[in-house]
Amino acid sequence: MQTQTEMKVPYGYLPQEYAANRGDIDEVLEKIRQCVEKGDFTLGDPVGEFEEAFAQVTGYAHAVAVNSGTDALFLAMKAMGVGYGNYVVTVPNTFVATVGAICATRATPVFTDVGDDYLMRLNLTTEKKRKLNVGTNIYGIRYLPVELTGRPLPDDLFPWLNDQTFGPIIVDSAQSIGSKAPQIKDIATYSLHPLKNVHVWGDGGVVCTNHREMADAIRLTRNHGLRTRDEAALPGYNSRLDSVQAIVGLYSLRNVDWVTEQRNRHARVYDEALRGCEGVTLPPRSAGITEAFHTYVVQVDDRAHLIDRLLSKGIDAKVHYPIPLHLQPAFRHLGYEAGDLPVAEAQAKRILSLPVHEYLAEGQIEYVVETIRAFYAS
């Protein structure tokens, strides 16, 4: 039996998932074998089945499966006509793929600050637009908020979202599959990366929308723009989710309620056990929404030394993400400086992601809490 000093608390969980679900995995492998025998690899029947199931889980009328979460963002923006001359407003505390997808459309990313809940706050004043060389013509601006950590956008966060002056809204929902909130999104994009709450065994993504025309346009574009095998209706891309990954996605999708319940339960255990711990700020909570804790992010004092302590005790803590994107070398040409987005910058110095995945044992969570409390008591 492991003692606490020998305990390991991994951040990832894929080996545990395989070990705990050996029978289900064997079923998946058998379905893959059948797919191989049929040669049904490209946009085969499993892809349509997965899209239908994904739409039901997320509550959208249409789901279009693509090659990655980044492609989902890119193709959604292209379907909306985003391109050169447009500005896409997003947040600096997201994964780089969000902004990489904007750049791939040849639009210009514009960063706005976040609130205490890590979600977008619209504060593009006329003065700031001028400083960033953003035209005052709002028709050239699109908005791309991000549902970070598995926290969905509450319906009252952006009163302007339903103002059609601003055009359709794309939401980067890569981390929030399984969450629940009043639906305010025109289009949501998801990632199926292996560490997401619903995942495949490689890369994959999904675009969800209630607009049939938008879904049809993305289906066309993901497959080279081909209307038939021999007729190309428009210049497109190769961004198909293959049948093998769709089989894995169907398996993962049927566990989404259990995964969400387990992660949220672990988050509540952390909340209760760390409440009142000096040096630790708990994740925000809001009435009327259900999170799906892709990450459990606290803010902490003296983060560098705490991480060293956690790692030395076998606890695999992470930081998502230590350098806000507006200060990354890749986007230096956009002209941002330290201090431009003070809330996101301050959070980046204090945020810490603790293991929260569905295969954690309660003893492991207790061990994490005891280690943190001991650090601040010393």
Predicted pLDDT of residue 146: 95
Q: Token pair for residue 75?
A: 């193709």
According to DSSP, residue 6 is labeled: G
According to DSSP, residue 272 is labeled: H
Per DSSP, the chain holds a count of helices (H) and strands (E) of 12, 10
Predicted pLDDT of residue 168: 72
For the chain, 378 residues long, the average pLDDT of each consecutive 10-residue run is: 70 93 95 96 96 96 97 96 91 98 95 92 56 54 91 71 62 94 80 96 96 96 95 96 97 96 98 97 90 97 98 97 97 94 96 98 96 96
Separation between Cα atoms, residue 328 and residue 340, nearest integer Å: 13
- Distances from the Cα of 51 to the Cαs of 65, 167, 288, 312, in angstroms? 6, 26, 27, 43
358: closest CA among 252, 265, 249? 265
Alpha helices in 156-255 (DSSP H): 212-222, 243-253
Separation between Cα atoms, residue 210 and residue 374, nearest integer Å: 50
Q: Token pair for residue 56?
A: 């039901």
According to DSSP, residue 171 is labeled: E
223: closest CA among 47, 89, 28? 47
Q: Which domains does the chain have, with CATH numbers?
A: 4-8+256-377 (3.90.1150.10), 22-253 (3.40.640.10)
Q: For residue 235, how many other CB atoms are within 10 A of its CB? A: 8
237 φ, ψ to 5°?
Answer: -140, 165
Q: What is the pTM of this model?
A: 0.93
**222, burial (CB in 10 Å: exposed 0-12, middle 13-18, buried 19+):** buried
- The enclosing H or E element of 87 equals strand 87-90
What is the maximum span of the chain, computed from C-alpha positions, in angstroms?
71
143: closest CA among 209, 98, 176, 183? 98
Separation between Cα atoms, residue 292 and residue 174, nearest integer Å: 11
